[in-house]
Amino acid sequence: MDVQHAKSHGVIAEVNSLFQQPWWLEAVAPGAWSAVEIWRGGALQARLPYVVERRMGLTLLRQPPLTQVLGPWIRPLEGTYATQLAHQTELYMELIEQLPAHDYFSQCFHYSVENWLPFYWQGFQQTTCYTYVIDNLTHLDQVGAAFQKNIRYDIRKTRKQLRVHSAYDIDRFLQVAERTFARQGQPLPYSRAVVHRLDDACKAQSARQIFFAEDASGRVHAVAYIVWDERSAYYLMGGGDPELRISGAASLVLWEAIQFASQVSRHFDFEGSMIGPIEHFFRAFGARQVPYCSVRRCSRRMRVLLAARDILQAVGGH
C-alpha cells in the first residue's frame, strides 16, 4: 500500500469534478492545498484533496472559495454491490487515517459520493444539501420544454429587448455581481484577487465562459459565469443589476449558458442553494433535485472553543 500526499499542478483524470483538479485548487488556494492519495500497482486508487488553514493555533481542513465540492474520489470497481461497498469502505477508511492532524474538517462531497458511512464511523457528521442538475443536454428542445411557464415567458420577452454576448471581461462581470450583493447590504462573498486568478486559470484550460444580457442603451441587466469539464458544466457565479431586475434577464442569460454548455459538456449543474428564493428559481428550469453531503468533524479542543463561543454569544445577547 502506497499512501502519498500529492501536489501536482496539472490536469488529472482521477476526479469527480473539475473542482478537484490540481490547477483549480492552485488557483483558489495557491500553496495551501494538498491531497491524500492511495496507489496500488502503479495506479491511483483513491484521492482526497484538502486545503489547510491555520488560525490561532488550530489546523483547519476546509473547502476553498468558489469551489462547490471536493471530497474523495475512488477508482470504480466491478463486482457485486457488496464487493463495491467493501472496496469503498476500505479506501475511505485509509484516506481518513492519512489525513493530517486537524482540529476541524469541513467539505461538501460530490453527489456521486453516496456512501459516507465510513466517515460516520470515524466521528464525522453530515448534513444533506441539494443542487439541481439537468442530466442530459443532448436534446435542447426537451430541456426547454421542461421549464416552468414563467421561465419560458421571461425568455421570450427579454429576447426581444436584450442581446446576450460574451464580449466583456471579468471586471465588467464583477461590477454587476457587486451590485447584486450591495442590494442585500453585503460585499462580494469572494475576493477579486481569487476571481481574477481563477478566471486566468479557467481561460488557460478553455473551461469558462461569461454571459452578459445587455440592452440597446448598453446597460447590462444580468450576468452568468459557467465553468466545465467533459462531465458537467457549473453555474459558478451570477448576478443582475438591482434596478433592472423586472426585465427577466436572469432567465435569458441562464438559458443561453445552458445552450452553450450543451456544446462542451453532458450535464448542467446549477450548484444549488439552500436559500428558498434561489432554490425556487433553479427548480423552475426543470432540473432534477440531487442531494449531496456536507461532511465535518471537530476535535475535542475545537468543540470546547465552539461551546465557549456560543456561551459568550448567548451572554452578550442578554
Are residues 103 and 146 both part of a single domain?
no
* End position of a domain, from candidates 249, 265, 281: 265
pLDDT of residue 7: 59
Instruction: Examine the domain organization and report whether 106 and 186 are in the same domain.
Output: no
How many domains does the chain divide into?
A: 2
Question: Do residues 78 and 39 make contact, with C-beta atoms less than 8 angstroms apart?
Answer: no
pLDDT over 60 (residue 137): yes
DSSP string, 115-156: --HHHHHTT-EEEEEEEEEE---S-HHHHHHTS-HHHHHHHH
- Does residue 38 contact residue 1 with C-beta atoms inside 8 Å? yes
**Coarse DSSP helix, strand, coil percentages of the chain, rounded to the nearest 5 percent:** 40, 30, 35
Of 6-10, 87-91, 217-221, 283-287, where does mean pLDDT reach its minimum?
Answer: 6-10
pLDDT tens for 27-54 read 999 999 999 999 999 999 999 999 999 9
CA 305/CA 248 separation, integer angstroms: 46
- Whether the per-residue pLDDT at 4 is higher than 80: the answer is no
- Residue 174 within any structural domain of the chain: yes
Say if strands 43-55 and 58-62 run parallel, antiparallel, or are unpaired: antiparallel
The answer to whether position 177 is within a domain reads yes
Instruction: Please write the tens of the pLDDT for every residue from 66-91.
Output: 999 999 999 988 899 999 999 999 99
Percentage of the chain exceeding pLDDT 70: 96
Look over the chain and give the mean of its residue pLDDT values, rounded to a whole number: 93
Q: What backbone torsions phi and psi does residue 35 show, to the nearest 5 degrees? A: -155, 135
What does the pLDDT read at residue 58?
92
Q: What is the CATH number of the domain that holds 206?
A: 3.40.630.30
* pLDDT at position 185: 85
Residue 3: pLDDT band with limits 50, 70, 90: very low
CATH number (domain holding residue 43) = 3.40.630
Query: 226 by DSSP, 3-state: which?
Result: strand
- Give per-residue pLDDT as tens, 223-281: 999 999 999 999 999 999 989 988 899 999 999 999 999 999 999 999 877 788 888 89
On the CB side of 283, how many CA atoms lie within 13 Å of its CA?
Answer: 11
91 CB-side CA count, 13 A: 25
Which domain range does residue 162 map to? 137-265
Question: Do residues 227 and 57 touch, judged by C-beta distance below 8 A?
Answer: no
Which pairing describes strands 104-108 and 58-62: parallel, antiparallel, or unpaired? parallel
Q: Are residues 254 and 306 in the same domain?
A: no
Look at residue 245 in the predicted model and tell me its pLDDT: 82
Q: How many CB atoms lie within 10 A of CB 176?
A: 22
Global pTM reads 0.92
Residue with C-alpha cell 476541524? 104
Residue 308 lies in a domain: yes
- The pLDDT score that the predictor gives to residue 204 is 97
Contact 46, 91 (CB under 8 A): yes
* Residue 280 placed within a domain: no
| Helix orientation angle between 149-159 and 249-261, rounded to the nearest 10 degrees | 90
141 shares a domain with 119: no
Rg of the chain, C-alpha, whole Å: 21
Clarify whether residues 88 and 204 are in a common domain.
no
Whether the per-residue pLDDT at 202 is higher than 90: the answer is yes
Instruction: Compute CA distances 244 → 149, 219, 249, 313, whole Å.
Output: 21, 9, 8, 39
Dihedral (Cα; 273, 149, 237, 291), 10-degree rounding: 30
Report if residue 182 sits inside a domain.
yes
Q: Say which residue, 318 or 240, is predicted with more confidence.
A: 240
Is 71 within 8 Å of 16 (Cβ atoms)?
Answer: yes
Q: CA-to-CA distance for 105 and 182, rounded, in angstroms? A: 31
Give the separation between CA 61 and CA 50, rounded to whole angstroms. Answer: 6
